[in-house]
């Protein structure tokens, strides 16, 4: 099983009505050197300027990004090439990130290589430390920049530290 940390940026709160404009992923294993980055042109005419602003892109920038079907096909191939066994989706905010990735895979490829499950890093950490008021973000080494690869890598660093410091049993290839 390969854990793949994912982070996305979007121009609104839900897929379909709004668009995932970029995402990053990293295979969670020492070195964190297997990454993926995708930029996707909008799928909707709707967008929220404040949401898009977080990513640092303009609407005009995003309209020049790649066709979502091609990006998702490339991501699916990358997952197949980099995973050992079943790929497992994990993110800092899987309620947000998962909904976009799942929708885009099903909408454009009619399947999701991650299946139907995901894990939330924050909830995992709260369980490990047995305190729902704790936050894992101090375990990141890479600064949170809202570039999805940086953010996925930072979150993967935190997961590796949770494994090391708390003895979390998690298979890493």
Mean pLDDT (whole number) for 37-53: 97
Assigned token pair, 160:
């590796």
* Whole-number pLDDT of residue 173: 66
Which homologous superfamily is 2-166 in?
Ribonuclease H-like superfamily/Ribonuclease H (3.30.420.10)
How far apart are alpha carbons 40 and 137 in whole angstroms?
A: 27
Q: How far apart are CA 24 and CA 36, in angstroms?
A: 5
Q: Report angle CA 24, 28, 31 to the nearest 5 degrees.
A: 100
CB 11 within 8 A of CB 21: yes
Count Cβ atoms below 10 Å from residue 124 Cβ, excluding itself. Answer: 18
Averaged over 51-64, what is the pLDDT? 96
- pLDDT at residue 62 above 90? yes
Cα-Cα-Cα-Cα dihedral sign, residues 47, 145, 25, 65: positive
pLDDT digit string, tens, across residues 15-44 = 999 999 999 999 999 999 999 999 999 999
| Gap between the Cα atoms of 57 and 166, Å rounded | 38
For 102, the 3-state DSSP assignment is: helix
Rounded to an integer, the average pLDDT of 89-111 is 97
pLDDT higher than threshold 90 for residue 3: yes
> Tens digit of pLDDT for each residue in 125-170?
999 999 999 999 999 999 999 999 999 999 999 999 999 999 999 9
């Amino acid at each position: 099983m390969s854990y793949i940390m994912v982070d996305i940026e979007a121009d609104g709160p839900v897929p379909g009505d709004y668009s995932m404009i970029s995402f990053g992923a990293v295979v969670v294993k020492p070195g964190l050197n297997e990454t993926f980055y995708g930029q996707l042109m909008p799928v909707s005419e709707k967008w929220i300027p404040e949401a898009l602003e977080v990513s640092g892109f303009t609407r005009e920038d995003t309209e020049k990004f790649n066709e979502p079907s091609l990006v998702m096909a490339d991501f699916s191939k990358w997952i197949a090439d980099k995973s050992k066994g079943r790929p497992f989706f994990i993110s800092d905010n899987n309620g947000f990130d998962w909904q976009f990735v799942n929708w885009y895979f099903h909408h454009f490829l009619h399947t999701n290589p991650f299946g139907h499950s995901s894990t939330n890093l924050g909830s995992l950490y709260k369980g490990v430390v047995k305190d729902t008021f704790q936050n894992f973000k101090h375990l990141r080494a890479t600064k949170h920049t809202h570039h999805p690869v940086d953010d996925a890598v930072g979150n993967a660093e935190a997961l590796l530290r949770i494994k090391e410091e708390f003895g979390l049993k998690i298979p890493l290839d």
